[in-house]
Amino acid sequence: MDKRTTIREAVAGLRDGMTIGIGGWGSRRKPMALVREMLRSPLKDLTIVSYGGPDVGLLCAAGKVRKVVYGFVSLDSIPLEPHFRAARQNGTIEAVELDEGMLQWGLYAASLRLPFLPTRAGLGSDVLKVNPHLRLVKSPYDDGEELVAVPAIPLDVALIHMNRADARGNGQFLGPDPFFDDLFCMAARRRIMTCEKIVATEELLREGSVHTLKINRMMTDAVIETPRGAHFTECPPDYGRDEAFQKEYAASAAEPEAWKAFKARYLELGSEDEYQKAVAAR
């Protein structure tokens, strides 16, 4: 089966109001080419589930988001995400703020088709207060311990970016951390994977051991080659974070005029190709 497609076609399949999980972590290996295509689309009222970085910030700034489910939103080398902060402080989004491990548990529960998974994380903290939908569960065994029942977080769509993939939808991470991309895929009904490079299946082990083949083709529906598609987040070993660009992004968020100029220069373009050309021309 050949799952290759384009970001335009993939994003055209998304609908208003969907719950969309985005892989990566902070400003690391984010499927930014897909996020940028979403910015060009008329999509709205989305629920975004993410270990958040500029994916969350950009979608909030563009008014695409109704609700964010997150453990944090950060640009790593710049601790706070300016557009996400603005959205929170202006009250334009609904926030489901969880402990990082609880978010993993919610995705894992969804991927295992379980209603919830128990954990100690959250007990005693305001995670329970600011998320009144969370409930406790009592151990049925002799210990009788009360734990947080993290509800499954099923996704309509998962978006991930890998270093390599084949046309059938097997994916490979070559950097140090797979993050939770496999869980995002397993928790979702439709799974879209971009990658730096599509290679022949028999070439997958050329650059990494079998342990790097974290995404198998049962976990994906669409594959798209998007070179530098995680820009400006990092995608090692292919490239590091574009710190200069990230600084420009964060600085422009502080000034409406500067943000308008940033958008005109990099975001209000016709395609991912034009974005990459605008970045290269800096």
Partner 1 sequence: MSDFTRADVCAVAIAETFRGDGEILASPIGILPMIGVRLAKLTFEPDLLMTDGVASLLGSVPPVGVAATEAVVEGWMPYRLVFDVVWSGRRHVMMGATQIDRYGNQNIACIGPFERPKAQLLGMRGAPGNTINHPTSYWVPNHGPKSFVPKVDVVSGVGYDRAAALGARAARFHSIRRVVSNLGVFDFETPDHRMRLVSVHPGTTVEQVVANTGFELSIPASVPETRTPTGEELRLIREVIDPKSLRLQEVKA
Nearer to partner 1, 92 or 216 (CB): 92
If one asks whether residue 98 binds partner 1 (CB under 8 A), the answer comes out as yes
DSSP 223-254: EEE-TTTTTTSBBTTTB---HHHHHHHHHHTT
Tell whether residue 97 is a contact of partner 1 (CB under 8 A): yes
Strand partners, 224: 194
Peptide bond into 232 cis (omega under 30): yes
166 vs 41, 104, 125, 215, 241, CA distance in Å? 27, 27, 44, 11, 25
> Which residue's CB is nearer to partner 1, number 84 or number 259?
84
In whole angstroms, give the CA distance from residue 152 to residue 186: 12
Only segment of 94-102, 196-204, 220-228, 271-279 that touches partner 1 (CB under 8 A) = 94-102
Which of 66, 88 has the CB closer to partner 1? 88
The binding track of 69-88 with respect to partner 1, each residue x by CB under 8 A or -, is -xxxxx----xx---xx--x
Q: Footprint of partner 1 on residues 31-60 (CB under 8 A)?
A: 52
Give the residue with the Cβ less far from partner 1, 100 or 248.
Answer: 100
Of residues 146 and 273, the one with the C-beta less far from partner 1: 146
Min CB(85)–partner 1 separation in Å: 4
Closest distance of CB 251 from partner 1, Å: 18
CB of 12 vs partner 1, minimal distance in Å: 32
Euclidean distance between CA atoms 158 and 190, whole angstroms: 6
**21 has which bridge partners?**
49, 158
Q: Are 83 and 57 in contact (CB under 8 A)?
A: yes
Using the minimum distance from each CB to partner 1, give the nearer residue, 98 or 198.
98
What's the min distance (Å) between Cβ of 119 and partner 1? 7
Q: Is 178 in the site for partner 1 (CB under 8 A)?
A: yes
User: Do residues 171 and 165 make contact, with C-beta atoms less than 8 angstroms apart?
Assistant: yes
Which residue from 15, 112, 125, 268 is in contact with partner 1, where contact means CB under 8 A? Answer: 125
Total residues binding partner 1 (CB under 8 A): 41
Complex with partner 1: residue 118 or 154, whichever CB lies closer:
118
Nearest to 253 by CA among 40, 90, 84: 84
**Token reading at 190:** 């439709």
Yes or no: say if 16 and 63 are a contact pair by the CB < 8 Å rule.
Answer: no
The pair of structure tokens assigned to 165 is 């993939």
**102 makes contact with partner 1 (CB under 8 A):** yes
137 burial (CB, 10 Å; 0-12 / 13-18 / 19+) is middle
Residue 103: φ, ψ to 5°: -65, -45
- Kindly state whether residue 209 participates in binding partner 1, applying the rule CB under 8 A: no
Contact residues: partner 1, CB under 8 A: 25, 52, 70-74, 79-80, 84-85, 88-89, 91, 95, 97-102, 104, 119-127, 129-130, 143, 145-146, 176-180
